[in-house]
Structure 1
Amino acid sequence: MGVEIERKFLVNKEKWSQAIKEERSFFRQGYIVSDPERTIRVRLIDSAGFITIKGLTVGATRTEYEYPIPKEDAQQLLDNFCNSELSKIRYFITHDNKLWEVDEFLGNNEGLIVAEIELTDENEPFSLPDWVDTEVTHEKKYSNSNLAIKPYKNWNIQ
């Protein structure tokens, strides 16, 4: 069984603008199923496709199965089967020998920047880069599947 242990943080935009960013990819991802207990996601990363099945999150842990699929299949699934989607630029940054993935969201989520770190254990120690701000691991509104349905640009609209 695949397991994902992930912590999420908001990013200080001013400090982030000064950070060295060497590696990045464009992500387009959509959701075939998106509910609290399970998610089926299709992702197109630059020229590679993936389908991912995720289970219920407990703490910072959930089951996860991810498989590569042909780029053309990912494109067709995104265009014809996804109920919601989002796009972002993901940066890959190593800090103290740990990989951080920082997402600058595009489109309806533009202005939101979220950093993630995957761990091998929920209690695994790690240090925070200076551009990391508030932890939002347990705030569901920051999940990608939620952002695809309730975009950041609408959060302040009553």
Structure 2
Amino acid sequence: MTTNEIEMRLAEKNDAKGLLAFLRQTATESQAILLPGLDKITVEEEAIRLASVADRNDCLILLAWLGEQIVGVLTIMHVADQPGTGELGVVVAKDYWHQGIGKLLVDEGQYWYENYSTLDELMLTVFTTNRWAIKLYQDLGFKTTGQLNEPMANGELAAAYRMVYKK
């Protein structure tokens, strides 16, 4: 697989079933993926969420496809209690880690942020043990602004960095 084979496109409501299946699978592959209630979300509910994000300039859901398979997703969601801030999240299927898909997704997210969004900054949280992701974010211009403890999928707290990217 090369990154040239990856197709990027905005998520649409008819992607709900595939996206839910992808997220449920990847949640079993990493303790870093924390999506509370994921097992209870219906395809119909996910389709409504995807449709509600489609035309906004403060939220983005971007899918990375290899053929007919979702292999990565990037989300940027406005933070309700922090006006002007969007929280960035990236998930790549374990079989495709370290192959450039995360970088492609973040690059596209930054392009959207810089050219189409009304957000003032992007923020993310990354576990301090995830050296690959930290280096990627640093290489793409994110700056560490603090350290905190965040819950992992198993409920345990782990050290994490808060990182920010501004136009």
TM-score, normalization: structure 1? Answer: 0.29
Give the structure with the larger helix fraction: 2
Structure with the largest fraction of strand: 1
The structure showing larger relative contact order (alpha-carbon pairs under 8 Å, at least 6 residues apart) is 1
